[in-house]
Structure 1
Amino acid sequence: MSYPIGTPGTAWGETEKQQWLTAQQIKRSYQQEVVSELQSMPAHFEVIQYGALPYDAARYPLFILKSHPWHAELPTVLVTGGVHGYETSGVHGALAFARLAAGEYLSHFNLLVAPCLSPWGYETINRWNPMAVDPNRSFYPNSPAPEAALLMNTVQALGVSIYAHFDLHETTDTDNSEFRPALAARDGTVHDNWNIPDGFYVVDDSVNPQPAFQAAVIQAVEKVTHIAPADENGEIIGSPLEQKGVINYAKARLGLCGGFSQANYVTTTEVYPDSASATPQNCIDAQVAAIRGGLDYLLNL
């Protein structure tokens, strides 16, 4: 599948990256759709600005919600959304959890919610940042992505261990129509068109798998939306199915957001918004159900 920028088989240089950037357009408003939501958060959350993206600091301030009061004796749970800005329900699922459900858990956990790590990507409906860097492959020291570096620095500065981490994502039809072809063009490689799974699934950490935790997430989400089946090879997006709706990745090695926190319990959710039976609200509800299912499991350990 060809891509309109670059020469097949040759990785992009700065000229091609600039061509790609020039082609991007603002399609929705981070300030109106995300930042405005922070003004109505319950009083048990502090809204803290932890930085701003250097592309346009005034337009793209970054916020994290910190539960208040903070209890040093409680385990800390991190929720991240919008690492890939185009994955809409990750952003609004994090906001909905904070607004509607988080209060039920504050006697058991400290909560940190970073609803939109990539606001430029949110506005342009993009997987990458303006430098054609994928933030969700950039969670490592001296990260080239400010979206990743600023969050890692913020969490480190808090001086707390993360007990559980919910990283909210989507798998969309545009992964095959736009983002994987763009990736192949950028890197001068061949694009493999993967089957897009029809339904919800999660990604566990292959270095520290927690199958019972993942199963609890799947069981909770199954009450809200359908779970993705494996393809004819027994895989989801090229990875073997470990159990219903669960695949494994080496998260830290791949530089994924779910790997930097070093939490014992980590899940990366993947909602399918392009399903014929999905709606935007259904996708948001699935994200909230995933968090609740995981937290309820941890409460019963």
Structure 2
Amino acid sequence: MTTSAFYPIGIPGTPWGPTEVAAWRARQDRKRSYADEVQGRIEALQAHFDVTEYGRLDYAPEHYPLYVVRSRQWDETLPTMLVTGGVHGYETSGVHGALQFLEKDAARYAGRINLLCVPCVSPWGYERIHRWNAEALDPNRNFREHSPAQESAALWGLLAPLRATAHMHIDLHETTDSDESEFRPALAARDGKPFEPGTIPDGFYLCADSAQPEPAFQQAVIAAVAKVTHIAPADPDGTIIGSPVVAHGVIEYDCRKLGLCAGITDARYRTTTEVYPDSPRATPAQCNDAQAAAIVAAIDYALGGGGRTV
């Protein structure tokens, strides 16, 4: 069904210009602190990891340092595993699940892998609990060379040297009720298109890269997360968010064509997680646990069961 859902900015059927983007940005209030909730926890990891800035977001008068956490003893003979969170700043468990993994689980892989983790790709969006950046761009549709999105360009540059050598990349996301109430209507308004209502999956699922799906890898992650929280069932038409379900809890996207984070590298094993924090069957702690469990399962599979053995 297509509808002309009301959105308070712009003229229906007309894409936004700079005036509408400025009006939208003026409505975005700061709701939480990146420095207090994220940056401080990242800096505390310096006792065990190399923590460095890989870029800064410049949204004057605000500026945000972007942090990467790396294995202290980087060894080119070991497989490189990538973890990214907070590409969409409002997807809270992506950020805090990555931090939880670094604080509680990452030490077990010392000397076995090269770990590179970016817990919060989009701090401006994190503070405003928003999907887009300050220019009304979705970072997770803009991972490409010469990206117009600062967040995407910075991460692209960071991962460029690892594009051909990364072994695994897991990108942590959420699907929330606000996708349907705010972000999809805003997208339709921004692009001057009709709003097409969708559905919100109740549970965890994965988005594999159709160019390199690795079904057994995806199912290993699903099996691990199923011990923590429930897996999203398919809709009656056999889809999740409109995409065919190819296996239990798994859909596929062409990540590189769509400019998605998981398509930045040529890693053999790559996936995007999605949890549902608004479910009555899940808590924020469960969502964080699910993300951390997904990371552990992804690394373990890539290291051993079907992946590269070290």
TM-score, normalised relative to structure 1: 0.97
1:249 equivalent in structure 2: 253
Q: 1:54-133 residue pairs with structure 2 within 5 A? A: 54-56=58-60, 59-133=63-137
CA deviations 1:226-266 (Å, max 9, x no partner) are 00000010000000000000000000000000001221110
- Decide which of 1, 6, 26 is 1:2's aligned counterpart: 6
Distance 1:297 1:234 in 2: 27
Residues 1:44 and 2:48 are matched in the alignment: yes
Change over 3 Å in CA distance of 1:57–1:66 after alignment to 2: farther
CA deviations 1:58-86 (Å, max 9, x no partner) are 64100000101111100101100000000
1:155 equivalent in structure 2: 159
Q: 1:219-298 residue pairs with structure 2 within 5 A? A: 219-298=223-302
1:144 equivalent in structure 2: 148
Instruction: Report SS of the residue matched to 1:232.
Output: coil
Q: 1:168-247 residue pairs with structure 2 within 5 A? A: 168-247=172-251
CA deviations 1:100-156 (Å, max 9, x no partner) are 101112232100000001000000111111110100000011100010111111222
Asked if structure 2 preserves the Cα contact closer than 8 Å seen for 1:200 and 1:269, the reply is yes
Shift of 1:300: 2.4
Asked if structure 1 preserves the Cα contact closer than 8 Å seen for 2:164 and 2:267, the reply is no
TM-score, normalised relative to structure 2: 0.94
1:19 equivalent in structure 2: 23
> For structure 1, which runs of at least 5 residues remain unmatched after alignment?
none
Number of equivalent positions: 301
Distance 1:300 1:69 in 2: 25
> For structure 2, which runs of at least 5 residues remain unmatched after alignment?
none
RMSD: 1.3
Identical positions, percent = 56
Shift of 1:159: 7.7
Change over 3 Å in CA distance of 1:160–1:238 after alignment to 2: closer
Shift of 1:38: 1.5
Between 1:3-12 and 1:157-166, the stretch displaced more is 157-166
Distance 1:201 1:250 in 2: 16
